[in-house]
Amino acid sequence: MKETVMVKHAVTGREFLNNNRQALDYQFSELPEGRYRLEFAGIEPELAQDILRFRQELNMFRFELPDNEPQIKHWYYVNPERVQFDAEQGRLTIEADSQIRYLPTDYWA
């Protein structure tokens, strides 16, 4: 199964991260109590600072692309207090408190 992950600015639509447009080393995790985490390795400090600057206005998306099945979209509601950057390791962590999961085929054929 293929997967796309994106982090965008909710107000302007500016795309900060997209594994289809840039090489990203990331890990997605489901956490207890319906929370979610994306951890990115090797993030440049300048990019991380832009993301931290707009942490109150981030959208995080994950698109699952199963073979021979409809795409599944996940829209995560980022918790701004859980957007962190470890400059020493170049590790950006973004956590979300909830999500909307939907199938585009539910809205159009």
How many residues appear in the chain? 109
| Average pLDDT, consecutive stretches of 10 residues, N- to C-terminus, the chain (109 residues) | 94 96 96 96 96 97 91 95 96 97 78
Note the helical H segments in the chain: 45-53
Please state which architecture CATH assigns to domain 2-106: Roll (2.30)
pLDDT at 83: 98
Three-state SS at 108: coil
Spatial distance between the Cα atoms of 77 and 18, rounded to a whole number of angstroms: 17
Domain ranges in the chain are 2-106
How much is the pLDDT for 82? 97
Residue 105's pLDDT is: 78
SS3 content of the chain, % helix, strand, coil (to 5): 15, 55, 30
